[in-house]
């Protein structure tokens, strides 16, 4: 089955760019997601990308997809203290949310 891997921690300086990386194993994954979890809260969808896209940009967020390497990344430009959270990568073969497989999350901490 699908396996989604992420590094557990990332620390960046305020104002720098953050890049969170993710790899997945199932080449049939069509829907790829980034969710954000703030302390004490549930996950919230940040952005998603379809497998027929290489890049998606949404304000400070840029998602890059390398299908050949099964590698997904999330870049946050001009990182702010409010970006401190856990970021989950997730993958699914179709739009059925019941098939979404989540990574273990990357905790992003911002230092002044």
Interface mask (CB under 8 A) for other proteins, residues 12-51, using x and -? -------------------x-x-x----xxxxxx--x---
The Cα–Cα gap between 25 and 15 comes to: 33
Q: How far is the CB of 40 from other proteins (least distance, A)?
A: 7
The Cα–Cα gap between 31 and 50 comes to: 5
The Cα–Cα gap between 87 and 77 comes to: 15
Q: How far is the CB of 35 from other proteins (least distance, A)?
A: 8
Is residue 17 within 8 A of residue 10, CB to CB? The reply is: no
Residues lying near other proteins in the complex (CB under 8 A): 4, 8, 31, 33, 35, 40-45, 48, 88, 90, 92, 94-98, 100-105
């Amino acid at each position: 089955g699908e396996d989604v891997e992420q590094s557990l921690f990332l620390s960046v300086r305020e104002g720098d760019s953050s890049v969170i990386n993710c790899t997945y194993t199932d080449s049939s994954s069509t829907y790829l997601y980034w969710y954000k979890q703030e302390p004490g809260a549930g996950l919230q969808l940040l952005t998603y990308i379809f497998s027929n896209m290489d890049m998606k940009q949404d304000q400070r967020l840029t998602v890059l997809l390398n299908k050949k390497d099964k590698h997904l990344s999330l870049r946050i430009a001009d990182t702010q203290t409010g970006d401190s959270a856990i970021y989950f990568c997730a993958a699914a073969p179709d739009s059925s949310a019941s098939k979404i497989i989540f990574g273990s999350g990357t905790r992003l901490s911002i230092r002044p």
